[in-house]
Amino acid sequence: MTIIKNDLWEGIQMLIRIYDFNNYKDYIQTLVSKQPKSGHGFYRKMALKLNVSTTLMSQVFNGDKPLSLELAMKVAEYIGLLEKESEYFITLVEYDRAGSQSLKQMFFKKIKRAQKEQSQLGKRIDHDIEINDMTKSIFYSNWLYTGLRNLIAIPEFAHLEKISERLQITPQKLKEIVGFLVQHGFCDLQNGHIKIGPQKTFISKDSPWAQQHHQNWRIKAIEKMPMNFQQNIFYTGPMSMSHDVAEQVRNDILKLIESVYEKVGPSTSETVRCFNLDWFEY
């Protein structure tokens, strides 16, 4: 998965898997073609950022000039590749630069191994039933993981630039979260769009991550209170009552929660809300 990023945070429209490519120039050209205005001016911006000439960029990606390993690393950083993706990108460059058939064959085998590893990872995700403790510790560490996953269920947020605008998060943080969600099956990539994946998770009240999950969303509710949007509800009502009434109210709240989920479950995804006994749009 790759997210193009630059100073203006333009053109995050498609998710392109680098492991689908055996040629780094084809990969970059595909990324550029998915940018606004078909990538017009992209090479110039990248050249300025990497402190090289635009002519060099054009000779490399639109011509026969090979990319140096040093510049390849800078390109990988510029387009926001993760560590494993950067390693794969460098391998593609090494394969292209190799001067002998035996050396090319060695790098080609390395490329195929990396592609096979990624394919096997995807198959493992499809068959996962329960996520492990390490994955849970990350998933529940920040409200953005559960919040972003729910937002993706709304069709208009299948594009990353829409998610970035809505949640007001940096490109690098967005890439980190989306990469994690895709890797662990919470989200899926289909024809360049991001969608809800097959993986599900649930934490009981006794889970060590339950408190963190609750705190994350309580803090988010506090952040939203000053905005005073009409559709939001924040209710705080300290009160005294009998033990019997206290138990009745508790049961009423539990029935309300059950009623909410009975309605929400089968409904179509059109908006996102959080229910803490606060009710707010995020």
Tens-place pLDDT, residues 32-42: 887 767 778 88
Domain that includes residue 241, residue range = 225-281
**Cβ atoms 1, 15 nearer than 8 A:** yes
Q: Is residue 170 in some structural domain?
A: no
> Per the structure, how many domains does the chain have?
2
Please indicate, yes or no, if residue 123 is contained in any of the structural domains.
yes
CA distance 35 to 30: 9
173 part of a folded domain: no
Q: Does 101 map to a domain?
A: yes
Residue 122 has pLDDT above 60, yes or no: no
- Does residue 181 contact residue 187 with C-beta atoms inside 8 Å? yes
Q: Please report the beta strands in 204-277, taking only residues with DSSP state E, as ranges in sequence order.
A: 233-234, 273-275
User: E strands of 146-230, at which residues?
Assistant: 187-190, 193-196
The dihedral built from the CA positions of residue 142, 182, 164 and 40, taken in this order, carries a sign that is positive
Length of the chain: 282
Structure-block tokens of residue 96: 């292209």
Asked whether residue 178 is assigned to any structural domain, the reply reads no
pLDDT in tens, 63-116: 999 999 999 999 988 887 878 889 999 999 999 999 999 999 999 999 999 998
Is 177 part of a structural domain of the chain?
no
Query: Considering 110, 127, 144, which residue would you say is the last residue of a domain?
Result: 127
Query: Which residue has better confidence, 179 or 103?
Result: 103
Answer whether 0.75 is exceeded by the pTM.
no
Q: Is residue 48 part of a domain?
A: yes
240 vs 237, 243, 277, CA distance in Å? 10, 10, 18
Residue 9 lies in a domain: no
**Domain endpoint, select from 127, 155, 185:** 127
The pLDDT of residue 36? 66
Domain termination site, one of 127, 154, 187: 127
210-267: per-residue pLDDT in tens? 888 889 999 988 998 888 788 888 888 888 889 898 889 888 888 888 888 888 888 8
